[in-house]
Amino acid sequence: MLALMSNKKLVFVTIFLLCAGCIHEGTSPPSPSPRPSLQTKSDIGSTLISGQQVRVNTQVNPVRLIPTKALSFVDELHGYGLAASNDELTFLQTSDGGVSWQAKSKVTNQIGPTLLSFLDTQIGWMFTGETGTRKSELRLTSDEGQTWEVIAQDLPGLEGSRGTPYFRFFDRQKGLLAVRTDKDLQLIRTQDGGLTWGLSNRIPFPSKEDGVFTFLSSTEGWFVGPSKKDKETMLLYHMTDGETWEEAGKWPSPGAPQAISFSDAQNGFLLIKKNNSGVQGQSWQWLQTRDGGKTWSQNEFPGTFQPLESKLQVSFPTSTSGWLWDARDLWGTADGGLNWHLLTH
C-alpha cells in the first residue's frame, strides 16, 4: 500500500511540473530580435503592393561636390578647390590628385570671380567678391582651409575688368592679380603677403585679338595670340620686366588659343581650339614646349573632349602633372598632357 501511495505522489508531482512549464511559456515575453546592421552604401527594403512583394531601393546618393569654381594644386597629389551653390562656396581638398574631394569649410555671401592660390598644404589665399557691396575681398588660411581671415578689401585696379583674372602667389610675400580690360592689361601686385596692393602702368596687349596669358612671377609672363597681319600665324610674347611684351616665337595657327600654363621657365602648355570650317563638332590640339616657347610639339585631343570653352583654365604645378577644367568638368594628366582622364564622372 505504501508503494501505491508513492507512485500516486510521483504522478501528481510530474503533472504539476508540466503545468507550471506551460504557464511559464505562455507568460514569458518574446526574445528580442537581433538589431539590424547599418547599411552605409544602400538601404534595401520590401513592401506589399496589390498582394505582391516588391523590393524597394531606398538608397540616397550623396551630392558629389566638384571644384570647378576655382582650383589650385601644389603638387601631383594635393590640391584645393571651390564649388559654388547660389551665393555659398564650399572649400574642398584632395590628396589623391583630384579623384576624390572632401569638404573643409564654407564661405557665404560671395560672388565671382572666385580664385585660389596655395603655396603648400597649409598656406593659401582666396580672392572673392562680396555679394552685398560687390567689393573685392582677399582671405588667408594657414591651416589648410579650415579657417579663413580677411586680410584685404577693395583691391585697386579692378574697374572695367573682363574675363577671369589671373591670380597667384609665388612665395609667402609676392602675389599677382593680372586683370584684363578691353584695351590693355593691369597688373596688381603685393609684396607683403596680400595686405597692400600696388598698380602697374597699363600694359597694351601685343594683339587686339583675344589671346591667353599666364605668369611665372610677378614680372615674368607669356601671351599667345594671332598675328595682327596674318590671322593664320600664332605669335608668342614673353615679358620679363613686368612692363613690356617681346616677341618670342611664331608658328602656323591651327585655331584660337584657349588656355595656357607654364610650370617653369622652360616647360609650357597650350590648348588650341582648331578651326573646323564645314565640319560638325569641335576639335582640339595640345601644344607643349620644353625650351621656353622656342619650339612646340603638337598632340591631338580625343574627339570626346567637349568642354565649355568659355570657362577653360589649365594649371601645371610640375612639368608632368596638370589639370584642365571648365565650369562643369575636371580633367587630369600625369604625362604633360599626352593623355588626359576625366575626374568628374
pLDDT, averaged in runs of 10, over the chain (345 residues): 44 45 43 33 30 34 71 95 80 94 82 86 88 77 93 88 88 95 89 96 81 94 87 90 92 87 96 72 87 90 75 92 91 92 83
Burial class (CB in 10 A: 0-12, 13-18, 19+), 227: middle
pTM over 0.85: no
Helices (runs of H) and strands (runs of E) counted in the chain: 1, 27
Give the helix ranges, DSSP H, for 34-127: none
Residue 112 has a pLDDT of 64
- Which residues does 120 contact at the CB level (< 8 Å), separation at least 6? 74
Alpha carbon of residue 23 to chain centroid: 69
Residue 322 has a pLDDT of 96
CA separation for the pair 271, 259 (Å, rounded)? 5
Are residues 269 and 293 in contact, defined by beta-carbon separation less than 8 angstroms? no
What DSSP assignment string belongs to 66-86?
A: ---SEEEESSSS-EEEEEEET
Comparing CA positions, the residue from 269, 256, 250, 276 lying closest to residue 210 is 256
Buried b (16+ CB within 10 A) or exposed e, 125-150: bbbbbeeeeeebbbbbbeebbeebee
Q: How far is CA 317 from CA 41, 168, 267, in A?
A: 35, 12, 11
What separation, in Å, do the N-terminal and C-terminal C-alpha atoms of the chain show? 94
Residue 132 has a pLDDT of 55
Give me the residues paired with residue 236 across strands.
224, 249
